[in-house]
Amino acid sequence: MLSKEFKTKGPSARLDEIASAANLTPEEKALFAQYGSLDSAVANRMIENVFSTYALPLGIATHFTINGRERLIPMVLEEPSVVAGASFAAKLAQPNGFTASSTEPVMIGQVQMVGIPDLKKAQDAIQANKARLTEKANAKDPMLVSRGGGVNDIQTRMLKTGRGDMLIVHLHVNCQDAMGANAVNTMCEAISPDLEALTGGQARLRILTNLAIHRTATATAIWTKDALAESTKNTLTGEQVVNAILDAYEFAKNDPFRACTNNKGIMNGIDAVVIATGNDWRAMEAGAHAFAVKNGQYTSLTTYSKTPEGHLKGEITIPVAVGLVGGATRTHPLAKICLKIMDVKSARDLGEVLASVGLAQNFAAMRALSTEGISRGHLKLHAKNIAVMVGAQGDDIDRIAAQMAQEKNVNAARAKELLEKKA
């Protein structure tokens, strides 16, 4: 899809290649060529008290094959090594790449009901009136319903609390290609007076949950022993690498301290794509971490096992509350084009890409950590950041970074020394 030289080209030549691979129009391409192409009028409509915009690097992860299709993955983030890590993991998973699937895009809206005299009776009344409540909620979003979405179930949960028993009503809403927060919140608000009348209680909070257990995507990939051995330049055998990664996985599975950082690494990749597509990364973060503790102990979002042939199989399942319409997905001019570059056609498809990227990112970190250590991959860009931090400019940045990387001694004191040496 992209040339072998892509990596070594400058940003503008890389843009030429991406524009041609993704069939971007000249106008779309021009938007990427302007730094901070979010103009102030657009930004001013997005949030309050806008006085400027704030640019971040936009990179592209390569070598991704997902369900047999090659995909280019735009990523927005400030951290070095993430784009390279994802691309490397995807390359090692070739030629089969990632197999991904997803559930229907169903979000849950919650209505908190308090002061109910008879909880059991209230639950029965809600169940008996499900059709009427569904109709009322759906009437709030004819556009969503016309696209096959809308409420598909209403459930209730009793909650014992320090302020008495509460009834929590769950509205299951198929959000189709929207993330759905506004749509679901509006529906919850619309049925609250009816819930009050049916239960004799008062409706308090009416808002969706980010713990989107009914809207998940799963991705799997197999990294062969040969690919794994090669990734260490055959300093280790494939079997050694598989075993080292399985040990690393057991650590993350059983220790929340490790699992937390393990999952942070997964979200490095996922958030970067979520941001590139104008989606709500706080929603993704909240959902992912809550999902990681769904069985009572915080654990790894990925799992790893050995195939009968001795290869490494990785798998991830995550909630994917993302959309192609709504929020900033259509207002941010670059978000739409990033979706085009990925060739994403539905919110479910985007969720499957996110799961694949999360798995790739995690594998990259697991492989590096359990073989040569994470610092090596970070070294070059990290060294440049340190050089900038001590005040280096222009050619000095590369000179100081290269020297520190060669010495394997990357720190601010050494960078300052090298800067002063020249001066």
Write out the catalytic residue numbers: 79, 264, 280, 378
**Please, which residue, 303 or 331, has the CB nearer to ligand NAD?**
331
| Interface pick for ligand NAD out of 83, 122, 166, 179 (rule CB under 6 A) | 179
Minimum distance between the CB of residue 262 and ligand NAD, rounded to whole angstroms? 24
**8 Å CB contact between 149 and 174:** yes
Q: Enter the DSSP assignment of 414.
A: H
CA distances from 325 to 74, 157, 175, 219, 339 (A): 18, 31, 10, 24, 11
* Contact status: 283 vs ligand NAD (CB under 6 A): yes
| Interface pick for ligand NAD out of 116, 183, 211, 242 (rule CB under 6 A) | 183
* Contact status: 166 vs ligand NAD (CB under 6 A): no
* Contact status: 319 vs ligand NAD (CB under 6 A): no
* Contact status: 173 vs ligand NAD (CB under 6 A): no
* Contact status: 144 vs ligand NAD (CB under 6 A): yes
* Contact status: 358 vs ligand NAD (CB under 6 A): no
Minimum distance between the CB of residue 144 and ligand NAD, rounded to whole angstroms? 4
Rounded Cα distance between 222 and 218, Å, is: 14
Minimum distance between the CB of residue 42 and ligand NAD, rounded to whole angstroms? 15
Within a 10 A sphere around the Cβ of 69, how many other Cβ atoms? Answer: 10
Helical (H) or strand (E) element with 306 = strand 302-306
SS3 222: strand
Minimum distance between the CB of residue 326 and ligand NAD, rounded to whole angstroms? 2
Comparing CA positions, the residue from 259, 363, 385 lying closest to residue 311 is 363
* Contact status: 205 vs ligand NAD (CB under 6 A): no
As a whole number of Å, the end-to-end CA separation of the chain is: 45
| Interface pick for ligand NAD out of 15, 181, 259, 360 (rule CB under 6 A) | 181
* Contact status: 271 vs ligand NAD (CB under 6 A): no
Residue type, 394: G
**Please, which residue, 86 or 275, has the CB nearer to ligand NAD?**
275
Within a 10 A sphere around the Cβ of 192, how many other Cβ atoms? Answer: 19
Q: Enter the DSSP assignment of 325.
A: B
Residue 59 in tokens: 């990179």
State phi, psi for 40 to the nearest 5 degrees. -65, -30
**Please, which residue, 17 or 104, has the CB nearer to ligand NAD?**
104
Composition of the chain by helix, strand, coil, percent to 5: 50, 20, 30
Rounded Cα distance between 87 and 61, Å, is: 5
| Interface pick for ligand NAD out of 182, 307, 375, 409 (rule CB under 6 A) | 182
* Contact status: 339 vs ligand NAD (CB under 6 A): no
Binding-residue total with ligand NAD (CB under 6 A): 22
Within a 10 A sphere around the Cβ of 292, how many other Cβ atoms? Answer: 20
Q: Which span sits near ligand NAD by CB under 6 A: 8-16, 171-179, 223-231, 261-269?
A: 171-179
Rounded Cα distance between 274 and 350, Å, is: 9
| Interface pick for ligand NAD out of 22, 58, 242, 280 (rule CB under 6 A) | 280
* Contact status: 323 vs ligand NAD (CB under 6 A): yes
Q: Which span sits near ligand NAD by CB under 6 A: 164-172, 305-313, 321-329, 409-417?
A: 321-329
Rounded Cα distance between 403 and 415, Å, is: 9
Taking CB atoms, the residue at the shortest distance from ligand NAD is 326
| Interface pick for ligand NAD out of 85, 97, 109, 149 (rule CB under 6 A) | 149
**Please, which residue, 2 or 207, has the CB nearer to ligand NAD?**
207
Minimum distance between the CB of residue 174 and ligand NAD, rounded to whole angstroms? 9
The residues, ordered by sequence, that sit 6+ positions from 349 with a Cβ below 8 Å of its Cβ are none
Rounded Cα distance between 319 and 342, Å, is: 20
**Please, which residue, 176 or 220, has the CB nearer to ligand NAD?**
176
SS3 127: helix
Q: Where along the sequence are the contacts to ligand NAD (CB under 6 A)?
A: 141, 143-144, 147, 149, 175-183, 208, 210, 280, 283, 323, 325-327
